[in-house]
Amino acid sequence: MKRASLFTLAFMGAFSVSQSAKAVDYPLPPDGSRLVGQNQTYTVQEGDKNLQTIARRFDTAAMLILEANNTIAPVPKPGTLVTIPSQLLLPDVPRKGIVVNLAELRLYYFPPDGRSVQVYPLGIGQLGLATPEMTTRVGQKIPNPTWTPTPGIRQRSLERGVSLPPVVPAGPNNPLGRYALRLAYGSGEYLIHGTNAPSSVGLRVSSGCMRMFPDDIKALFMQVGVGTPVRVINQPVKYSVEPNGKRYIEVHRPLSQDEGQNTQTMSYSLPVGFAQFTHDKASDKAQIDRAMYRRAGYPVVVSSGATPAASGSASVLSVQNGAAVTAAEKVTQ
């Protein structure tokens, strides 16, 4: 899993998260551009119990906030200034249907009108039960799903002292929530679904399925149809040369393969073309190296001649507590 997320975010998840939020809806950038949104800053308030609370307000993952603020405490003190990583580079895949980037803990939905992209936080498979990369489609839409835990899930639960029934009926206590999308991959064992434990969204805790906040899966469920294409990728490093010539990279901590790996230092599988991008005279190799080391999870300007201050100062929007959700919904490039 991503370093420190198991302990710190499981602790944070002990608190309930009650705020409702909508997906962050970005206008699609013009052809040749992948940059959308603006980073935001948020001042922690007295009522903000933990990073999960703040993440839910902005409909993002607490792990992404930890990446962007690598010295922040899981329960930050009131008055702490937090960067909300709401600027991003779109994944380097066709802008069609559902795209999941496991390394980002994000789901992208590209509506058929071709004018926007909706971005949702996501929970994915835990160590040993990783969500696989795949190219598939939505095979079935299931409202009010029942849950039939597999023998493996029942055995793991028994080892923790929990006896699961053979079938969990639909309702508020169902781990699949109110809506599920069955993927036409393998034997149909992988779902995108809701959850009765919203504090687990944004973590690696599932048995391979992908879970969303209840409001988010409802919004997605109502828009997609059977046959909608689904692409699940793992791209911790994204890069772009924008139409104005600016060069960006966005680096996330990679998903570890065992508990002992340090995701701040482990090596990457780099995207095709990245070596050429790095060594181009228009790129600043030193800034690229700093961004690859920092792994902040949001786009950084790495054009030759750009200063580190210029990389972020022009793309940060200050948001007040009472207007946080509205501002997140309205954020544009």
> Domain ranges in the chain?
24-37+87-233, 237-301
3-state secondary structure 214-243: HHHHHHHHHHCCCCCEEEEECCCEEEEECC
Query: Can you give the pLDDT at residue 204?
Result: 82
Question: So what's the pLDDT on residue 152?
Answer: 73
Count of other CB atoms within 10 angstroms of residue 148: 12
| Superfamily for the 24-37+87-233 domain | L,D-transpeptidase catalytic domain-like (2.40.440.10)
The predicted model gives 25-38 an average pLDDT of: 95
Which among 129-133, 307-311, 318-322 has the top mean pLDDT? 129-133
pLDDT at 49: 86
Tokens of residue 258, six digits = 């065992």
pLDDT of residue 136: 98
Catalytic residue, chosen from 209, 220, 288, 328, is: 209
Confirm if 98 and 120 have CB atoms less than 8 A apart: no
* Catalytic residue list contains 193: yes
Pairing of strands 210-211, 97-101: unpaired
Segment 188-202 shows an average pLDDT of 91
To the nearest whole number, what is the mean pLDDT of the chain? 83
* Rounded Cα gap, residues 105 and 121, in angstroms: 6
Contact 134, 232 (CB under 8 A): yes
Cα–Cα distance between 6 and 103 in angstroms, integer? Answer: 16
Mean pLDDT of 170-188: 91
Q: What is the pTM of this model?
A: 0.84
135-139, 308-312, 329-333: which has the minimum mean pLDDT?
Answer: 329-333
- Taking the C-alpha atoms of residue 316 and residue 40, their distance in angstroms, rounded to an integer, is 5
In tens, the pLDDT along 241-287 reads: 999 999 999 999 988 666 676 677 778 889 999 999 999 999 999 99
Catalytic residue among 193, 211, 231, 295: 193
